[in-house]
Amino acid sequence: MYLRIAFLTFVLFVGHVFIGSVWGISLIGDIGELVLLLCASVLFVVAILQAERLAISNTEDS
């Protein structure tokens, strides 16, 4: 779940950067870009840590 949300926020960030570079407009500004990228990064880290925890618990069970 966290990985999907991270992917979505990253796609929104890339889409915003693309729109800004093609049409020269900024929809959410610099702070909005920072928040989107920060959310994507944090959610990605959370997803990876959850996957690691699951992998470790599966290794201990077998």
Give 10-residue mean pLDDT values along the chain (62 residues). Answer: 95 94 91 95 97 90 69
* Domain residue spans of the chain: 2-61
At 10, list the tokens: 């990253």
Please give the C-alpha separations between residue 36 and each of 20, 22, 41, 59, in angstroms, as whole numbers.
15, 19, 9, 35
Amino acid found at 15: G
Question: Nearest to residue 17, comparing CAs of 8, 7, 27?
Answer: 27
Amino acid found at 26: S
Which pLDDT value is given to residue 62?
A: 65
Amino acid found at 51: A
In this prediction the pTM is: 0.84
Which pLDDT value is given to residue 58?
A: 87
On whether the CB atoms of residues 6 and 40 are closer than 8 A, the answer is: yes
Which pLDDT value is given to residue 61?
A: 73
